[in-house]
Amino acid sequence: MIQMPQALHSETMKTTPAQGRRGADAARTAGSDSTDGTAPRGRSAAPAAGRCDANLHDIQNSRHEDARAQRRKEEKRKALGIESTMTVTGIDVSSAQSEKYPTAGSDFVFIKVTEGTTYTNPKWVAQRKTARNAGLVTGFYHFARPGPVTSQVDFFLSKINLIEGDILILDWEDARVPNSWKDSWLKQVQQRTPGHKTLLYCNRDFWLHRDTTSFAGDGLWIAQYNNKPGQPDIHSAWLFHQHTDRPIDTSIGKFEDKAALHTWSGHVAIPA
């Protein structure tokens, strides 16, 4: 049974109990005062040197804090059984989530924009701002419904002013949408948005029993809530694994680190 549109993961029933259901004004960088190295008139250079020492101390403390935070993250990931080579995590949001959702600990956010040719997530613009203000790689998805493919491609792309690094995603969950429709949507979006990565989102049941071509654009985003982050039960290549919906739909990316994700997506930081 398919629910009425609302939010990608909350708005649509899971296809099988085992499967999951289910986005830059870039990060601001802190500025620092500059100096020409000379002391102000009437003052000695010693206080300036003292300030430099204090700044260096602050930088070193910040690096130590970052290192400790990374160690804590790795310890948590190890406890969850996540492969050490996968350090990239993120969430996806729709109208079921707040416009200002938590971004701490996330490297990417995928945001629902449209469904069919009549529904638009009323929160998606604000949700995009939240993602970009946090400096996250951002993706946008369309929930497929029966009907002309090109009309849904037009509807989806008409909503977004793309910037470099934006990822475009098809959410394939409606059993009335065939494999050929899925392939056509992905190919049309690829042709019309050169330079942008495209993904297919579907659950394990759709991938194993409804897909017939193994075509997923530039990568498969597979949903399976199996308590094994980064270990979906499929033999095909995948790029993202949505492994839980608690407390929010969460995925792990098959990337060595955040820098690798940025390189793959073409993400660039845009000054706010």
Q: Active-site residues: which are they?
A: 92, 173
Evaluate the CA torsion angle 226, 93, 135, 247 in order and state its sign.
negative
Amino acid at 12: T
Under 8 Å CB-to-CB from 124, ≥6 apart: which residues?
Answer: 23, 111, 112, 113, 140, 159
CA triplet 263, 171, 209: central angle to 5 degrees?
110
CA distances from 105 to 74, 89, 99, 116, 262 (A): 12, 7, 17, 32, 16
Give DSSP secondary structure letters for 140-208: EEEE--SS-HHHHHHHHHTT----TT-EEEEE---TTS-HHHHHHHHHHHHHHSTT--EEEEEEHHHHH
C-beta separation of 91 from 106 below 8 A: yes
C-alpha to C-alpha distance for 50 and 118, rounded to whole angstroms: 63
CA triplet 231, 215, 173: central angle to 5 degrees?
70
